[in-house]
Amino acid sequence: MTKFREEKDSMGVVRVPAQAHYGAQTQRAVENFSIGDLKMPLEIIHALALIKAGAAEVNRRLGRLDPKLAGAVAAAAQEVRQGRWDDQFVVGVFQTGSGTSSNMNVNEVIASRANEMLTGQKGGKSPVHPNDHANLGQSSNDAIPSAIHIAALAAIREKLLPALRRLQLALAAKADEFADVRKIGRTHLQDAVPMTLGQEFSGYARQVELGVERLAAVEPRLAELALGGTAVGTGVNAHPDFAAATIAWVARETGIDFREARNHFEAQAARDSAVEASGALKTVAVSLAKIANDVRWLGSGPRCGIGEINLPSLQPGSSIMPGKVNPVIPEAVLQVTAQVIGNDATITACGQSGNFELNVMLPVLAYNLLQSIELLAAAAAVFAEKCVQGLSANREACTAFIERSLALATGLVPRIGYDRAAAVAQKAYDSGRTIREVLTAEAILSKEEIDQLLDI
């Protein structure tokens, strides 16, 4: 039972809990100084390990690190990079804003493993020290921003761009397949003039293609690394040649043209490149949302909706209605896009928190940026392979909608004028007839003229 004590305030005597009582999870957070279950992305950990491996090799060449120690640090760092010690990285996302806790987590694991390689004993600070050797020439303030850029650009190149290109090709293939399928266009959710289903899908393919171009456009900024700035951008305690040489080593290892930041003060105080990248990711998400929404509307029905395309049947879509198949994949894609748009808002807020010489929301920025890349890559791949590839055209529905559309009156304007064409459309609407039927019944035009003008 909760115990209370009495306190006086301006309203009189009140009873308050004698001590705080939390749920078990909150209590653990207080005791362990950890908030939530989100962990720093392993891609960041692996990128940090890559930096440490390169730094050890460069510091050895520069005469700043004993070759024996450098070899052990580099070997241990490569093991971390390869994922061998992933279970050792338990620091949560919501930590110090510079990411120092995660940087030191990496330094300590590398030093512990290096000491085991050299002495047979894990842990300790001798002969390899986590700060003096694993972190030599670095600060969390330049290493974490560099790791964010390395991890994000690698994930965009290796995961997201291939998935988007796959989706673009799938949509382009459908544009070709549907090139001869005439259907009604729609604007303002109202019938418009005819077009082809292929033309509609060509627009989707181009949206994705432009998304690829937008992401490629941010690469030069993400390729700039803050490494070498150390604490505030001045490079204190780092060899003058350290940054350029280490970044060149990272570039060779990854096959990505990373380079030293043109201005280290910008590179550590601001996260504009990450915000820009997130903006491009958000734009891709908006594109996918438009496409996914159109696909599910075009496939709505199957008998009481638009039904111009047939969606592949993947699973029973209803727990109560037999035979109902829902647009599972488009709806999954829409949920991903909502998450990415939300992530962008978080990243934008993080980007605003560059106070003086350091941004202090690096971990949560890293988490959201990498999650957006991962989610979009998975969504694009699943959308292409489990939905777009299996789409087929309902030619009968497409043709029927064209014939019933009042917007066919648009094709009459050059021949009979706007007002008279509008009157024909109104008669068709009022009588429930088609434009063709009104024109024929009232002998406004010959059959040949009707066929020619309505074939728009």
**In Å, what is the CA distance from 184 to each residue of 126, 166, 309, 403?**
75, 28, 13, 9
Burial 212-232 (b: 16+ CB within 10 A, else e): bebbeebbeebbbbbbbbbbb
Read off the tokens for 451: 């066929």
Rounded CA-CA distance 86/13 in Å is 54
Burial 187-211 (b: 16+ CB within 10 A, else e): eeeebebbbbbbbbbbebbebbbeb
101 carries an active-site annotation: no
Question: Which one is catalytic: 318, 392, 431, 446?
Answer: 318
Side chain identity, residue 86? D
Residue linked to tokens 């994949």: 329
User: Three-state SS for 38?
Assistant: coil
21 carries an active-site annotation: no
Rounded CA-CA distance 42/49 in Å is 10
The string of DSSP letters for 304-367 reads SS--SEE----S---SSSTT----HHHHHHHHHHHHHHHHHHHHHHHHTTEETTEES-HHHHHH
Cα angle, residue 422 at apex, residues 417 and 428 outer, rounded to 5°: 130
Residue linked to tokens 């037999």: 322
Residues with catalytic annotation?
188, 318
